[in-house]
């Protein structure tokens, strides 16, 4: 295979994989990404806040420098000109595109030429983080990879632009998501240490240059920590069993277990085949970065500073660096690689597409029920998702209905210190559909809300709701109740009145 033919095959394969990953986003009206509709609803309110008086009564806008603004900065201006569903899909497509671009660029920077193992790394565009709808986090991951790759290229001919690239990129990464800025700083720290250990740059000038880059990378984090120190909290560490479970979840490339195992088998055979024939080159820096991020995962707590899944965020970069550290030697055959990779990619696309089709129908049913409500209705949401593979992607689906009709849904992410939109009434902050079944404040719910939307509630819970509510619509596992304005029954008074907060995993 000539170099020209190989380059054409590389470009064709890159475009094919990108198309396969974009297809499910545009094929279905409601992408089954758990937290995504919640972000979409918040941005929709921000884009129409000045024109809708009831939004001004419910919420307050506080635009300021926050390390979680990525999707807000993109979607809010876009929604002023484009339908909110279409605007959301444009941003999702951008997230996938940046992840692909970051993998290609990072692989080239590691090996000074494009690496075929990039096509394995891009499959993690549909990682568990994407399926759970952590859009700011994934957007930050793509941006982080691009900035690190660009800095690596600039640092080979050090000058003013290498500092500008790193400082500016780190500031943007910080605005997108805090974890992205942490990743840039950690990657810069490991790279500087690698350069010193390998004696790549000798003398005091090289040391000053390297540590200058590290200062530029860490500047946004230092500035933010000094300006807005967070309240100390007791960190909560995961058990080793939970650590292993988290690794398996992030290594999975599909919604369901069986197709995920099939894809993993294809990739494992591919790796073993080329490794045993000694046709794999390994970049030391990429391997070191993978180990460094894996170590950060092992030593980091699961919960800290009122944020959960802190340690889990290091897994995706660690996996990507591990894959990108490898490359097929130039003289090795590519037909077997392309064949197995195509099989893995099509299994992933078909399996995820079938799941998203089922979830799209389930979400559509919920949206149609909620669209029957009058404008400005206040809806309390109750979900039971235990053992339900589709239901795990639905708890924030009611926010899709709020894009077409003004509804107040208290599970909206509008939290002080994390979002530019906040509730005027603090009682509505951090209400979660997962916890509401376990310890709902029913006396407060019945006095504050007009309707209760329930998914997969048990018979005992249906009987309890029937004491104070009237069932007005049902479809499958979905129930919509209208709250009756009358004194609470003795059963309702006996229910717990406290509700623990669900920590942010965004």
Same domain (yes/no): 380, 447: yes
Same domain (yes/no): 57, 68: no
Q: Which two tokens stand for residue 105?
A: 């660029």
Q: What does the chain come to in residues?
A: 506
Return the pLDDT at 230: 57
Return the pLDDT at 87: 96
Query: Domain count of the chain?
Result: 2
User: Are the CB atoms for 138 and 34 separated by under 8 Å?
Assistant: no
Q: Residue 473 is part of which domain span? A: 32-63+356-506
pLDDT tens sequence across 224-273: 887 765 555 678 888 888 889 888 888 888 888 899 999 989 888 888 88
pTM to 2 decimal places:
0.90
pLDDT tens sequence across 168-203: 999 999 999 999 999 999 999 999 888 877 765 556
Return the pLDDT at 118: 93
Return the pLDDT at 503: 39
Residue 434 has pLDDT above 60, yes or no: yes
- The neighbour count for residue 210, using CB atoms within 10 Å, is 20
Return the pLDDT at 107: 92
User: Are the CB atoms for 443 and 492 separated by under 8 Å?
Assistant: yes
Same domain (yes/no): 406, 464: yes
Same domain (yes/no): 49, 82: no
Residue tagged 């009434």 (tokens) = 425
Same domain (yes/no): 363, 462: yes
Residue 477 has pLDDT above 70, yes or no: yes
Going from the C-alpha of 384 to that of each of 286, 291, 367, 480, the distances in angstroms are 42, 38, 18, 14
Pairwise CA distance, residues 252 & 468, whole Å: 43
Return the pLDDT at 505: 46
CA angle 80, 81, 85 (to 5 degrees): 85
Residue 502 has pLDDT above 60, yes or no: no
How many CA atoms are closer than 13 Å to the CA of 221, on its beta-carbon side?
Answer: 18
Same domain (yes/no): 247, 291: yes
pLDDT tens sequence across 378-411: 999 988 877 678 888 889 999 999 998 999 999 9
The answer to whether residue 4 is domain-embedded is no
The answer to whether residue 172 is domain-embedded is yes
pLDDT tens sequence across 277-333: 777 888 889 999 999 999 999 998 888 767 778 889 999 999 999 999 998 866 666
Name the DSSP letter for residue 430.
T
Return the pLDDT at 504: 42
The answer to whether residue 350 is domain-embedded is no
């Amino acid at each position: 295979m000539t170099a020209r033919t190989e380059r054409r095959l590389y470009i064709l394969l890159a475009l094919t994989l990108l198309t396969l990953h974009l297809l499910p986003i545009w094929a279905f009206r409601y992408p089954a990404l758990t937290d995504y509709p919640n972000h979409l609803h918040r941005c929709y309110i921000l884009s129409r806040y000045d024109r809708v008086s009831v939004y001004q009564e419910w919420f307050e806008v506080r635009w300021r420098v926050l390390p979680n603004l990525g999707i807000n900065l993109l979607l809010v201006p876009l929604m002023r000109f484009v339908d909110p569903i279409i605007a959301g899909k444009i941003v999702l497509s951008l997230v996938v595109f940046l992840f692909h671009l970051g993998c290609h660029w990072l692989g080239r920077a590691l090996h000074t030429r494009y690496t075929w193992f990039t096509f394995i790394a891009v499959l993690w565009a549909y990682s568990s983080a994407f399926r759970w709808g952590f859009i700011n986090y994934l957007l930050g991951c793509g941006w982080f990879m691009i900035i690190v790759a660009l800095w690596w290229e600039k640092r080979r001919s050090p000058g003013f632009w290498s500092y500008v690239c790193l400082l500016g990129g780190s500031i943007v990464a910080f605005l997108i998501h805090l974890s992205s800025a942490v990743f840039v700083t950690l990657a810069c720290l490991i790279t500087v240490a690698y350069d010193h250990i390998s004696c790549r740059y000798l003398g005091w000038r090289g040391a000053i240059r390297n540590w200058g880059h590290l200062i530029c990378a860490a500047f946004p984090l230092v500035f933010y920590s000094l300006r807005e120190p967070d309240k100390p909290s007791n960190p909560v560490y995961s058990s080793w069993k939970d650590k292993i479970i988290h690794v398996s979840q992030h290594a999975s490339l599909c919604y369901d277990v069986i197709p995920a195992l099939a894809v993993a088998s294809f990739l494992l055979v591919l790796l073993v085949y080329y490794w045993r024939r000694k046709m794999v080159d390994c970049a030391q820096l990429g391997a070191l970065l993978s180990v460094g991020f894996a170590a950060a995962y092992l030593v980091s707590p699961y919960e800290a500073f009122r944020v959960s899944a802190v340690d889990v965020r290091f897994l995706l970069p660690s996996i990507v660096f591990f894959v990108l550290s490898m490359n097929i030697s130039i003289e090795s055959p590519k037909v077997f690689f392309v064949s197995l990779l195509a099989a893995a990619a099509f299994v992933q696309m078909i399996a995820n597409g079938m799941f998203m089709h089922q979830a799209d129908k389930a979400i559509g049913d919920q949206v149609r029920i909620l669209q029957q409500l009058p404008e400005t209705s206040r809806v309390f949401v109750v979900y039971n998702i235990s053992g339900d593979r589709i239901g795990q992607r639905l708890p924030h689906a009611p926010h899709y209905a709020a894009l077409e009709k003004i509804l107040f849904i208290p599970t909206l992410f509008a939290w002080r210190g994390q979002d530019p939109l906040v509730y005027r009434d603090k009682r509505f902050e951090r209400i979660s559909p997962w916890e509401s079944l376990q310890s709902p404040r029913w006396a407060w719910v019945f006095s504050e809300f007009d309707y209760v939307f329930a998914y997969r509630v048990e018979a005992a819970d249906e009987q309890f709701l029937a004491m104070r509510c009237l069932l007005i619509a049902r479809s499958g596992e979905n129930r919509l109740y209208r709250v009756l304005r009358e004194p609470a029954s003795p059963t309702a008074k006996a229910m717990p009145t406290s509700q623990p907060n669900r920590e942010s995993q965004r």
